[in-house]
Amino acid sequence: DVKVTQSSRYLVKRTGEKVFLECVQDMDHENMFWYRQDPGLGLRLIYFSYDVKMKEKGDIPEGYSVSREKKERFSLILESASTNQTSMYLCASSLSRASANEQFFGPGTRLTVL
């Protein structure tokens, strides 16, 4: 089974702090994704990566950056956390060569910025 893990289930940070959210997958997937989920808005793509050191902006990249130094690990960075970044963050991965390319998700990190 595909396993996607995220470093924390719950995180509380203060405004202005630098925040790292880590995601690791164990199935050799090429693609990795970061979403945020807010009530009534569904999932919105922040960034994704299709290969090591490669990244592309999603729909809402402002205030975020990412890092992918190894294939299995994709990090989301909030350079200076703000209260409007309080949200649920979901990481996902997918295999490029699969016919459906379904994304497999981690358990999510609920981030609160005070």
Residues that bind another protein (CB under 8 A): 31, 33, 35, 40-45, 48, 50, 54, 56, 58, 88, 90, 92, 94, 96, 99-108, 110
Compare residues 65 and 101 and give the one whose CB is closer to another protein. Answer: 101
Name which of 1, 2, 9 is nearest 92 in CA terms.
2
Question: Least distance in Å: CB of 42 to another protein?
Answer: 4
What is the sign of the dihedral through the CA atoms of 21, 26, 30 and 36?
Answer: negative
Residue 32 φ then ψ, to 5°: -140, 150
At closest approach, how far in Å is the CB of 16 from another protein? 27
Q: Which is nearer to another protein, 63 or 104 (CB)?
A: 104
Written as six digits, the tokens of 110 are 């609920």
